[in-house]
Amino acid sequence: MSTATLSQTDQNKRRQYRRLVFLTWFLTLDLIMFGAFVRLTDSGLGCPDWPGCYGKVTPIGAMADIRLAEEIMPDGPVTVAKAWIEMLHRYVAVILGMMIIGIMMMAWRWRDIIGRTPWLATVIFVAVCVQGAFGAWTVTLKLMPIIVTIHLLGGMGLLALLTWLAARERPYLPVSIDRHRFKPWVAFGLVLLFIQIGLGGWVSTNYAALACMDFPTCGGQWIPPMDFQGGFSLIRGLGELPSGEAISQLALVAIHWVHRNFAWVVFAYLGTLVWLLHRDAGLRGPCHLVVVLLVAQFFTGLTTIFFEWPLLIAVLHNGGAAGLTIAMVTLLVRVTGMQPAQVRAAQVPQFA
C-alpha cells in the first residue's frame, strides 16, 4: 500500500508505529550500555532478590535491610548505591517490555497500514520475555557466569531484532543487485561477531579482563600456560570451578587469551567484507560505521588493559559491540533488499 493511497489517519498511525519502533530501538541500546554499567560496578546483586528489592518496590522501602547488609559487608555486593543502580536497570527493562508489547499490538492491528507481517514484532515480544527470565536468573543464581553471558547475548540479540525491525522502515539508496549474493557472508560475519561478544561477556563475568597485562603478548609469551578446561567449564558458580575450588589464574588467562585472539579473526573478516561492499552507495554508511567501530574496539580494548579496566572505557567497549551489531544487521537488511512497504509499492526509491 503506497503512501498516496493512505488516508491522513492511516498515515498518522504509520508514523506512530515508526516512532515507537525507533524509540524502543534507542532505549534498548541505552539499556545494554546501562547493563554493562551494572555488571562492571558489581551491582548485579545490589538487590539480591527479584523482582523487588528485599520484597519492596523500591530501595527506599528496603533501606533497613540494605543498611544491615552494608554493615555486615561494607565492600560486599549490597550497598545503597548498588541497590539503586540495579533497580533502575529493572525499571527501564519493564518500560522497554511495555513498549515492545505496544509495537506488537500495533503490528497486528495495523498490519495492512504498515504493510509488513507482524511476526517479527511477535518474535521480539517472545525474545524480551526470555530476556526477562534470564535477568531474574542472573540474580537468583547469584551471577552464575553462563547465565550472565547468555543474558548479555540475549540483550544483543534483542537489539539485533529491533535493528532489523527499524532498518526495514528506513528508506535507503538502492543497492546493486549483485550485492545480494553477499547475504550469507554478511550473516556469517554477524555470527562471528556474536561469538566474540559471547567471549567478551565470558571475560567480563569471570573478571578475566586483567588476566593478561601486556600486549600483544600475554605474560611475555605468545602462548602462555593456560587451563582451557577450567576456564571454559560452563556450569559452575562465580569464581569457582565445577569442583567448587576457586578458579585458577591459568583458567582466567585462557579466557582472556581466547577472546583477545579471536578478535583478530573478527577484525580480518569484517574488515575484508566491508571493503568489498563499501563502494555501493546504499551500503556505504553501515560499512564506514563498521570500520570506525572496529578501530574504536581495538583502542578501548587496549585501554582496558593498560589503564587496568577503567569503568567508562569498559562501558564504551561494550557499547562498541552493540554498535557493530547494529551496523551488521543494517548491512544484512540492505543486502537482502528490504525496503519500506510504501517505497516498494510505489517502485520509486525515497532516500533518507
> Which sequence positions are flagged as catalytic?
86
Taking the C-alpha atoms of residue 47 and residue 132, their distance in angstroms, rounded to an integer, is: 16
Query: How many Cα atoms are found within 13 Å in the side-chain-facing hemisphere of 17?
Result: 28
- The letter for the amino acid at 266 is V
Among 213, 278, 206, 279, smallest CA distance to 248 is for: 206
